Each structure stands twice: as structure tokens, then as C-alpha cells.
Copies of this chain bind each other. A is one copy, B any other.
Amino acid sequence: MQANAIGVISMFYARPFGTMQLAMLPRMKAAGMDFVELLVPEPGELDLDATRGTLAAAGLSVVLAARVNLQRDLASEDDAAHRAGVAYLKTCVEVARALGASIVGGPLYGAPLVFAGRAPAPVDEARRARRVARVVAGLREAAAFAAGNGVVLGLEPLNRFETDVANTTRHGLALVEEVGSPALGVMLDTFHMNMEDADIPAAIRMAGARLVHFQANENHRGFVGTGHLDWTAIARAIADAGYRGPVTLEPFRRDDERPGVPLAQWRAPARDEDAELRTSAAFLRAALETAWRGR
């Protein structure tokens, strides 16, 4: 029985996470983490050799989170943005190789926050199919490059407010199956699933062997165990799906009882939250071990 590795997203500690922040890696290890999930650094943000060395010294492995925007966007009908999206995913694969990571996850298809200022309108089926085809073509090229480098890409559905390309697990699987590459799977995040999937454990089981990365977040993005998600059922579904890969914690809600504080936006920690991180990792680790043992 080998339960899943548990890690934390670098944003829990700092954003941006640059070379100056590498000193935080031993703190993550001390809080019970097996790995860190790093946002793929922008050029110059992080010294890759120093990062690899500090990770090794801290005893942490690493997973990468890709960052898309409207300028690098597979779904875009603008050729330059589409091509920049493909080029970015290839860069992500190169950074993964440089850091010794084998997984790059995220909303790889692009189209983040595309709703800003757009009025509701009927779905234009031709345009929808065209955007999906561009996503699939871009992912095919990126996945071929990833396969050649021993890296696996994880396509993450996001909730309806963050993208219009893939919201449900089924949407994500549809894209992954259309691409049809062993170097592309789906990654699932319970924060988004809580908003879009009818049955989180059933969706995890449905993903099955296509599942290549997992983010365990509470319904309100606080610490695992402080909200209403059913972690026992989620852990059982992970074991049933046969998923032995990494599980990342991203508890950066930063509770605030004052009206007028934008919970949607990332905020820096106001105090040392390592004790809560350690407890939620222990809680999730025990739930996963129990689930694996029960198989």
C-alpha cells in the first residue's frame, strides 16, 4: 500500500515565488509536505538550478502549474495567441525537465476569465467547435512534445466563472479523449468540482486512468476539513480510480469576516498558518491511507 504524495502550492506562502522565496522550501517539508507545486516561473523569476538544488536538499519533489492568459491561449481565434499558447506549453515541459518534474497541470486550453464584460448570448455552435478544434490541435502538439520529454500534461477544468472551455470533469475528459495522447490526462480540483460536478466521487471514478494530477481544496478554499466536502468519500474515489499520483493542497482563502474584502483574489498570508497546513495534510493523508487499505 502506497498512498498518495501530498504537497502544497507555492502561492500558499508567496506570490510571486522567486529565488528569494526558495528558503521557504524546508518549511514546507517541516509542515509535512512531500512536494511543492510551483507555478511555472516566468523568465527570470526563479533560478532553475538553485531551485533544483534547494528542492533536493529539502527532500521535496515538485509538480508544475501552468499559467495561461489571453496572450497565450490555445482557444484563441487569434493565431498569434494560439501559437504563443502552444509555445508556452512547450516551455513548461522544458522547465519541468530542468526541475525534475514529471507533471505540468492547469487550464492548459487557455481562455481564462473570458466573461469580463461579455453579455449573455446564444452559443454559436460553429464558433464553439472551432475553438475546441484549436484547443485540441494545440494540445496534440504540446502533448507530443511532452511525451518526447517524459512529461505528462494535466488538463484542469475550472469553474464557470474562470473559463468557458472546460467546466465539468466530463468536459475535461472529452478534450483529453479527443486529443488521444498518453502524455495528456485530466487533473481535478475539488474546489471547481464542488461548483460544477453533480457527484464529486463519481466524477473522480469516471476520470479513472485518465487522472494524472489532483488538487484537494475545500468548498470555500479554506483548509481541508474546515468546510463541507466529504473527504472520506473523495479519498475512496481516488483509491477506486487507482490514482496513486500527487495531491496538492491550495488553502489560500485567508478567512476574513469584514465585508468588502475580495475573497476571489489572492492575498498574502497575514500570519504563520503552517500548523493548519500540517493538520489538514495529516487529515487527508490518513483519509487516503484508510481508503487504500480498504481496497
Contacts and interface: CB of A to CB of B under 8 A. Distances in A.
A218 B194 CA distance: 10
Contact of A263 (B196, B220, B257): B196
A220 B196 contact: yes
Contact of A259 (B121, B175, B195, B257): B175
A190 to B, nearest CB: 11
Contacts of A263: 160, 164, 167, 196
Given A165-B260, A174-B259, A258-B128, A117 B116 contact: yes
A52 B235 CA distance: 53
A257 B171 contact: yes
A228 B199 contact: yes
Contact of A164 (B160, B218, B261): B261
Nearest to A119: B265
Contact of A120 (B132, B170, B228, B266): B266
A268 interface: yes
A294 interface: no
Interface in A89-141: 113-118, 120-123, 128-129, 131-132, 135
A132 B228 CA distance: 29
Would you call the interface of chain A mostly helix, strand, loop, or mixed? loop
Contacts of A128: 258, 260-261
A159 B162 CA distance: 13
Interface footprint category on A? 35 or more
Contact of A220 (B171, B195, B226): B195
A118 to B, nearest CB: 8
Interface string A181-218: 00000000000001111111000000000000000001
A57 interface: no
A195 B196 contact: no
Interface of A: 75, 113-118, 120-123, 128-129, 131-132, 135, 159-162, 164-168, 170-172, 174-175, 194-200, 218-220, 222, 226-228, 256-268
17 contacts: A116-B117, A122-B267, A123-B261, A132-B259, A160-B262, A164-B262, A164-B264, A164-B265, A165-B260, A167-B263, A171-B259, A174-B258, A175-B259, A194-B228, A198-B218, A198-B222, A199-B228
Complex A-B, nearest 4 residue pairs according to Cβ-Cβ distance, in ascending order: A161-B161, A160-B264, A116-B116, A164-B262
